[in-house]
Amino acid sequence: MRRQEDVMKRTLITLLTMGLVMVFAALAAAQANDPLPSWNEGASKQAIKQFVKDVSTKGGPRFVAPEERIAVFDNDGTLWAEQPMYFQLAFALDQVKALAPMHPEWNEKQPFKGVLENDLKAVLDGGEHALLEIVMATHAGNTTDEFSQTVKDWLTTAKHPKTGRPYTDMVYQPMLELLAFLRANGFKTYIVSGGGIEFMRPWSERVYGIPPEQVIGSSIKTKFEFRDGMPVLVRLPEINFIDDKAGKPVGINQHIGRRPIAAFGNSDGDHQMLQWTTAGSGARFALLVHHTDAEREWAYDRSSSIGHLDKALDEAQMKGWTVVNMKRDWKLIFPFEKK
Amino acid sequence: MRRQEDVMKRTLITLLTMGLVMVFAALAAAQANDPLPSWNEGASKQAIKQFVKDVSTKGGPRFVAPEERIAVFDNDGTLWAEQPMYFQLAFALDQVKALAPMHPEWNEKQPFKGVLENDLKAVLDGGEHALLEIVMATHAGNTTDEFSQTVKDWLTTAKHPKTGRPYTDMVYQPMLELLAFLRANGFKTYIVSGGGIEFMRPWSERVYGIPPEQVIGSSIKTKFEFRDGMPVLVRLPEINFIDDKAGKPVGINQHIGRRPIAAFGNSDGDHQMLQWTTAGSGARFALLVHHTDAEREWAYDRSSSIGHLDKALDEAQMKGWTVVNMKRDWKLIFPFEKK
């Protein structure tokens, strides 16, 4: 009797232990297999995973051929932060300071005077025209190769005013995971930004895994000519294309020539891109990043001039587009928060 | 003795047979392994194979990382024929006829009158302005989706005046093999054409294996708007970009954002693209298709208005760029010549 009990007890313990080991193993495996570890469980994460599963399930009713799996992402406020000012504007202001010794007249001339005196209010008082003047003075005149090098050099030294980190550290960890998850499922990921195409291309591959040919943005005109016997492309002080608002579907058509099946944005500047994407037939996905976390990032929407989100938010709620609540949906915001 | 002789004879025959079988097998394998079977052996074929081997040999002195293996191809006269007129012009003329019932005024108005009366001379007398009028009348006003469908419909019915074949049959078999060979070695292949980007995209993937996002061309402006509650892109009668001559490097930079390492063309319209490509560092390749076969295709170069090849040919000879002699270098011109 005693012997039999012992055997039963040992067997029971063994089974329990095995059971627990299996449970823990399953949990660990689930965690290791989670393609979006920085996303909290919830409707947003669920919707993304379901869409990706649907379009990549061969024979399923919502299957999409791999070559049509095009996903477009806004950049400022969607893939990286955009406060307290668009990072490209910070670059332009720094460039004004770097170029100032060659332009003594800037000391007396707005908007440059304001930049040199760190009087941002005076700069912004000049409105759109002042900003355009700054962009042209800092983004044109050189060759494409030279400009690319200037951007790379700036990124190695410039620091974000709030975090003291390089600007390319200020990317959203959950969005990096989302980009990788989509690519692992046959998607081609594109940036479609109001920002400058040549400002993003020098670092988009390193930071986002998005090659230059998959970056769409605003641009100035360039001109082919010879300098010292070598062919170069010179950047002209003339707008070529503004890739914002109704310009985004135009830019997408011009560069890709197919309608995306998924679009990701954060402001009314992305509204038409989301409308264009979701108006196609078959499985479609639209997502807005809603900046709701004043503590870890910034909180802004309808009343903000940067990242103004109003009409697109209304349509998202009406159409059932996914709206990411940064505070609730994201475990981490920036990669440097990782322990 | 007799028996021994028999054995020796049989053995000898067996060995000879085996030897012959092996020789034939080796020959067949060599032929099957030839990535460019429609190219005759010679300097052009050798130069292509050597370049591809060089850039894809890991650890070699001319190795190029796969993501930088960008190859750009002109279309008219390089990938498909361009005589007796650019095929897109044939499309435009057919469209004038198709649209004429809605435009009774065209019966009295050049250049449309000339088109309707098959008086090409009267049309061409109008010069560039007349052609622009025809392009705008036939390429604008509709949506991008409608235009794409019009191109597809045209290709199913239109026939080339000389061969009676669909225009998409008039592609060069050796160039199809070259495209496939490059892609098999990690290259991304692009079209960079003076022709319309939206005229090529509906069929480039089917015919060349080149997806729409890898087609660069001339374009008219488009506008995002709503029609019947649905977002559409409307094609405007306004030039956006001319992707020809010095415009080709500009278009390449705009769309790809990297300098190609290989460029393929056939006319002075491709000259700057070849200059731009070969001016980069590391392994570079430039090739001109020289139309020398009046019998199987057409023969033209320095004095031709279509496919005018003059300065680029001089530079090719000076710089040692590969010049394909169609008559000598190509076993077949068109796929339909295959037995």
Q: What pLDDT, in 10s, does the model give residues B284-329?
A: 999 999 999 999 999 999 999 999 999 999 999 999 999 999 999 9
pLDDT above 80 for B3: no
Question: Are A67 and B223 within 8 A, CB to CB?
Answer: no
Residue from B219, B221, B223, B233 whose CB has the most chain A CBs within 10 Å, to mutate: B233
Task: Write out pLDDT tens, residues B54-74.
Answer: 999 999 999 999 999 999 999
Give A-chain residues touching B253 at CB under 8 angstroms: 144, 222, 233
Question: Are A279 and B246 within 8 A, CB to CB?
Answer: no
Residue from A67, A215, A253 whose CB has the most chain B CBs within 10 Å, to mutate: A253
Question: Are B275 and A231 within 8 A, CB to CB?
Answer: yes
pLDDT above 80 for B23: no
List the structure tokens of A17: 């232990």
pLDDT above 90 for A49: yes
pLDDT above 60 for A1: no
Give B-chain residues touching A256 at CB under 8 angstroms: 212-213
A287 vs B132, more confident: A287
Tell me, what's the pLDDT at A220? 97
* B196: β partners: B218
E strands in B11-135: 70-73
Question: Are A257 and B222 within 8 A, CB to CB?
Answer: no
User: What helix, strand, coil percent values describe chain B, rounded to 5?
Assistant: 50, 20, 30
List the structure tokens of B225: 């708007």
Which residues are CB-contacts of A36 (< 8 A; sequence separation ≥ 6)?
A45, A48, A49, A174, A177, A178, A181
3 state SS of B137: helix
Q: Name the band, by pLDDT with cuts 50, 70 and 90, for residue B21.
A: low
Question: Are A197 and B246 within 8 A, CB to CB?
Answer: no
Length of chain B in terms of residues written: 339
Residue B185 one-letter amino acid: N
Length of chain A in terms of residues written: 339
Residues of chain B that touch chain A, judged by Cβ-Cβ distance less than 8 Å: 67, 144, 188, 197-198, 201, 205, 211-213, 215, 219, 222-225, 230-231, 233, 240, 246-247, 249-250, 253-258, 272, 275-276, 279
Q: Name the band, by pLDDT with cuts 50, 70 and 90, for residue B19.
A: low
Tell me, what's the pLDDT at B311? 98
- Please give the Cα distance from A216 to A127 (Å, whole number): 25
- Please give the Cα distance from B270 to B249 (Å, whole number): 9
pLDDT above 80 for A170: yes
Question: Are B233 and A211 within 8 A, CB to CB?
Answer: no
- Please give the Cα distance from A214 to A203 (Å, whole number): 12
A319-329 residues labelled b (16+ CB within 10 A) or e (exposed): eebbbbbbbeb
Distance of alpha carbon B59 from the chain centroid: 32
Nearest to A190 by CA among B215, A168, A199, A200: A200
Question: Are B197 and A144 within 8 A, CB to CB?
Answer: no
Residue from B218, B239, B253, B276 whose CB has the most chain A CBs within 10 Å, to mutate: B253
- Please give the Cα distance from B300 to B323 (Å, whole number): 14
Question: Are A254 and B211 within 8 A, CB to CB?
Answer: no
Distance of alpha carbon B84 from the chain centroid: 16
pLDDT above 70 for B29: no
How many inter-chain contacts (A to B, CB under 8 Å) are there?
79
Tell me, what's the pLDDT at A21? 64
Nearest to B258 among A212, A253, A279 (CB): A212
Phi, psi of B81 (to 5 degrees): -70, 165
Q: Where are the alpha helices (DSSP H) in A224-292?
A: 247-255, 271-278
Nearest to B212 among A205, A222, A257 (CB): A257
Interface predicted TM-score of the whole assembly (ipTM), two decimals: 0.90
pLDDT above 90 for A39: yes
Residue of A nearest to B214 (CA): A256
pLDDT above 80 for B138: yes
Residue of B nearest to A209 (CA): B67
Tell me, what's the pLDDT at A338? 85
Secondary structure letter of residue B187 according to DSSP: P
H or E element at residue B4: helix B2-33
Q: Which of A162-166, A176-180, B123-127 has the lowest mean pLDDT?
A: B123-127
- Please give the Cα distance from A326 to A336 (Å, whole number): 17
Residue B314 one-letter amino acid: D
Q: Rounded mean pLDDT of A161-188? A: 98
pLDDT above 70 for A25: no
Nearest to B233 among A205, A240, A250 (CB): A250
Secondary structure letter of residue A297 according to DSSP: S
Q: Name the band, by pLDDT with cuts 50, 70 and 90, for residue A134.
A: very high
Q: Rounded mean pLDDT of B102-124? A: 94
3 state SS of A216: strand
pLDDT above 60 for B332: yes
Secondary structure letter of residue A199 according to DSSP: H
Nearest to B257 by CA among A259, A148, A256: A148
Checking phi first, is residue B118 left (phi over 0); if not, alpha (psi -120 to 50) or beta?
Answer: left
Task: Write out pLDDT tens, residues A236-284.
Answer: 999 999 999 999 999 999 999 999 999 999 999 999 999 999 999 999 9
CA torsion, ordered A20, A26, A28, A31, to nearest 10 deg: -140
Nearest to A220 by CA among A232, A202, A238, A193: A238
Q: Could you give the percent of chain A with pLDDT greater than 70?
A: 91
Q: Name the band, by pLDDT with cuts 50, 70 and 90, for residue B213.
A: very high
Task: Write out pLDDT tens, residues B219-234.
Answer: 999 999 999 999 999 9
Average pLDDT, chain B: 94
Instruction: Calculate how close chain B gets to A259, using CA atoms only, in Å.
Output: 10
Question: Are B213 and A258 within 8 A, CB to CB?
Answer: yes
- Please give the Cα distance from A174 to B61 (Å, whole number): 40
Task: Write out pLDDT tens, residues A139-148.
Answer: 999 999 999 9
Give A-chain residues touching B215 at CB under 8 angstroms: 257
Task: Write out pLDDT tens, residues B252-294.
Answer: 999 999 999 999 999 999 999 999 999 999 999 999 999 999 9
Tell me, what's the pLDDT at B33? 86
- Please give the Cα distance from A118 to A113 (Å, whole number): 9
Q: pTM of the predicted model, to two decimals?
A: 0.90
Q: Name the band, by pLDDT with cuts 50, 70 and 90, for residue B338.
A: confident
Residue of B nearest to A232 (CA): B276
**Cβ(A173)–Cβ(A253) below 8 Å:** no
Instruction: Calculate how close chain B gets to A336, using CA atoms only, in Å.
Output: 28
E strands in B168-261: 188-196, 215-227, 230-241
Nearest to B249 among A197, A198, A231 (CB): A231
- Please give the Cα distance from B209 to B206 (Å, whole number): 6
B339 vs A185, more confident: A185
**Torsion A235-A236-A241-A244 (CA) sign:** positive
